Chains A and B, each alone.
Chain A
Amino acid sequence: MWFPETSALVTLAVHLPLQQAVVAVLSAHPLVLVKAVVAELEELAMTSDITATWAGAALSQLDWLPEPVPLDDPVGVELAVSLQEEIASGRPLKHPMEHFGEAAVISLACRAQRLKPLMLCDDYNARVAAKNHGVEPLSVHKLLHLMIRQGKVTAAEAAGFADALHAAGRAQDYTAQELSSGRLARVGQP
C-alpha cells in the first residue's frame, strides 16, 4: 500500500508529464492519502517559499488519490508530533505543519505493517525515520529507477523527468545511466 507524502507530491507537481507517468503506475495499487499531508500542502502554499507554487499545483492534482483519512487521536497524533520533532531535529519549523505530513504518514503506516506500507517521500530525514519505523521509503527518483527496471518508462524518458526537476531547482542532476543503475546517492537512500 502506497502513502504519497507532501514532499513527493510537490516534486510531482513540478512537471506534469512526470506526475502523469507516476500516477499511471501507482493508480494500480492501493493508495492512502493522509489528511495531514493535505494540510501541510495548504500551509506550504501560503508561504513565500519557492515551493509554494508547486504546493498549490499539487493541491489541484489530488484527484487520483482517495479521500484523505484523518490520523487517529490521541495515539497516532502523539506519535506524529514526536516524529515531527525527530525529523525537524531541533531546527525551527518554517510553518507549524512543516514535516507533519511525513510524520503523520509514518505514524499511520508503521502501525499497518500487514499492508506492507510504502512511503513516497522526497525528504531524506523523513525517509530515514520511516525506515527506522518499519516503513519502506522511496524517493521519486528511486521510483523512476524502479519504473525503468520494470519497463514502465524508458531510461531516456526518466532522464527527461529528472532534467525537468533539476532545471526547476527541485533536485540534483541525474543521468539516464544513474537512473538505470540505481546509483543515485542521497535520493537512492534509504
Chain B
Amino acid sequence: MLAWLGVEPNTVSERAVIALMEHFGVSMAALIYQLNIIGVLSYDDGQQLRSRGVTSLIERHRDVAPSGAATTASHIRRPPERLTRQALASAQEQRLGLSVLASLLERDDDEQLWQEIMASQTQATASTDIVL
C-alpha cells in the first residue's frame, strides 16, 4: 500500500504518516484513526506517533509535506454527500422543491438547474382532467 513511499509492506513509518497527512490534507489524529481502522497501525503505535508531536514530525520530514496541508484548516464546508443525494432524489420525485437542492449545491434556483436535475426523468406533459 505504501510502496510509493519506499517503505516496507505493512509498516507505517512516521515519514509515511506525514506524507499521507499531506496527501489527503487530514490531521494526524484523523489519519491514525483511519490507519487503525484498516488494520495497518496498532492503537499503541498510533499513540506513540502522536506523542512525538505533529509540528516536530512535519519539520523533520518537510520534503514529503511541503504545503502544510495537514496542519492548515481549509475552512471549506460541504454538505454531507448522503444529504445531497437524498435531496436530489426527493427533488426528482417532486417530494421536495428545488430551492433546498440549490442551496446545497450553491446554485441558483433556476430553469437550468431544473433541466439538469430532471434530465434523467421522463418529461411528462402537463396533463390534468380539470374542466374549465
Contact = CB atoms under 8 A, between A and B. Distances in A.
Interface of A: 25-26, 28-29, 86-91, 118, 124-126, 128-129, 131-132, 136, 138, 141-142, 145-147, 150, 152, 172, 181-186, 188-190
A152 B123 CA distance: 25
B111 A89 contact: no
Contacts of B130: 118, 136, 138, 146
B103 A182 contact: no
A164 to B, nearest CB: 18
Interface in B90-132: 94-100, 103, 109, 111, 114-115, 118, 123-128, 130-132
A130 B29 CA distance: 48
Contacts, number: 78
Contact of A90 (B100, B123, B132): B100
Measured as residues with beta carbon below 8 angstroms from the partner, the interface class of chain B is 20 to 34
A136 B128 CA distance: 9
B97 A145 contact: no
B97 A185 contact: no
A184 B126 contact: yes
A136 B126 CA distance: 12
30 contacts: A25-B132, A26-B132, A86-B97, A87-B97, A89-B97, A89-B99, A89-B100, A90-B100, A90-B103, A91-B99, A124-B109, A128-B98, A131-B94, A136-B128, A138-B128, A142-B126, A150-B131, A172-B111, A182-B127, A183-B123, A183-B126, A184-B125, A184-B126, A185-B115, A185-B123, A186-B118, A188-B124, A188-B126, A189-B94, A189-B126
